[in-house]
A and B are shown apart, each in its own frame.
Chain A
Amino acid sequence: SQELEQSPQSLIVQEGKNLTINCTSSKTLYGLYWYKQKYGEGLIFLMMLQKGGEEKSHEKITAKLDEKKQQSSLHITASQPSHAGIYLCGADSSGTYKYIFGTGTRLKVLA
């Protein structure tokens, strides 16, 4: 079965610093989704990547899907306390209706 592994599991950065979160799949990705979850709340959809080499940006957050479509990275530029939360990647599980989710990366930004 397909699995998504995220790294790092947690991250503490000083405000203004850049950071990167990775999501690696055990199989080829056909659709990769990034979500943000504030503590104790639901998931907020950030962006979707479909094509190898694709890159998308939303405010100061940029996500890329590598050419082989087995890894995605999420990069935050000049982090702010409002970026704090849990970032999860999700993907269409091959051959089913289901999604699979990564284990999440917990981000804390120190003011």
Chain B
Amino acid sequence: DVKVTQSSRYLVKRTGEKVFLECVQDMDHENMFWYRQDPGLGLRLIYFSYDVKMKEKGDIPEGYSVSREKKERFSLILESASTNQTSMYLCASSSPGRNQPQHFGDGTRLSIL
């Protein structure tokens, strides 16, 4: 069965902190994605990666960076957390090419105080 695991379900951090969100998949997928989900705005792509050490900016990359040192792991980094980054963060993975469904983790609800 497919499995995408996000390291935390809930996280509370302070403004200015460096925050790491971890995502691991066990499906040997090449593609991995980070989204944030906000009421009224839907799902927005932050970054994605199509191979180890490869990354591309999504629609809202400002204030975020990513790391993919191993195929199974994709990390999202908030360099200096701000209150407007309070959100639900979702990680997903998929095989390459078209007609490949993305499989999602359970999400991390991040609050920045």
Chain B binding surface SS class: strand
- How many positions in chain A have a CB within 8 Å of any CB in the partner chain? 22
Determine whether B90 belongs to the interface, using a CB cutoff of 8 Å to chain A: yes
List A contacts of B17 (CB < 8 A).
Answer: none
Q: Is the CB of A45 within 8 A of B48?
A: no
User: How far is it, in angstroms, between the C-alpha of A4 and the C-alpha of B46 when the chains are bound?
Assistant: 19
Option from A40, A45, A102 in Cβ contact (under 8 Å) with B101: A45
- How many positions in chain B have a CB within 8 Å of any CB in the partner chain? 25
Within 8 A of A (CB), among B72-89: 88
**Residue in chain B with minimal CB distance to A32:** B99
Q: Is the CB of A97 within 8 A of B102?
A: no
Q: Is the CB of A92 within 8 A of B102?
A: no
Q: Is the CB of B45 within 8 A of A98?
A: yes
Q: How far is the CB of B12 from chain A (nearest CB, A)?
A: 15
Interface, chain B (partner A; CB < 8 A): 4, 6, 31, 33, 42-43, 45, 48, 50, 56, 58, 88, 90, 92, 98-107, 109
Interface, chain A (partner B; CB < 8 A): 30-31, 33, 35, 40-45, 48, 50, 88, 90, 92, 97-99, 101-104
